[in-house]
Amino acid sequence: YEAKAIIAVKLFESIFVDVDVYIHKLEGAFFMWLWIPNLSITSEQLYNNLKAEDVYIVPGHDFFIGIDDEWNHKHQCIRINYAKEEKILKKGLEVICNNIKSSEK
């Protein structure tokens, strides 16, 4: 886990340099959470945009069960699996970054 996590964070930091996106502390498994506070679309809409480019994430709203749907934070988070090869992860993060840039408020 640790080696993959280090690579994932390093890639995140190099790709999302000028983008208002935050990474939650990695706490095991092969998933990283990103918070995109200025996203002008929901994480579900971002999911659909990314899926059209063969990049798959999990929209955050599915993980906020029982919390008011009006709370913006639940629509501004995405979960990414970073267990892939570095080259594939890098490409996916670049596509995510480009989509976020075009969807920021």
Q: Each residue of 49-74: pLDDT tens digit?
A: 999 999 999 998 777 767 666 767 78
Nearest to residue 79, comparing CAs of 34, 24, 47?
34
pLDDT for res 104 = 66
* 73 alpha carbon, distance to own chain's centre: 13
Phi, psi of 68 (to 5 degrees): -45, 130
Residues with Cβ within 8 Å of 18's Cβ and at least 6 positions away in sequence, in order, are none
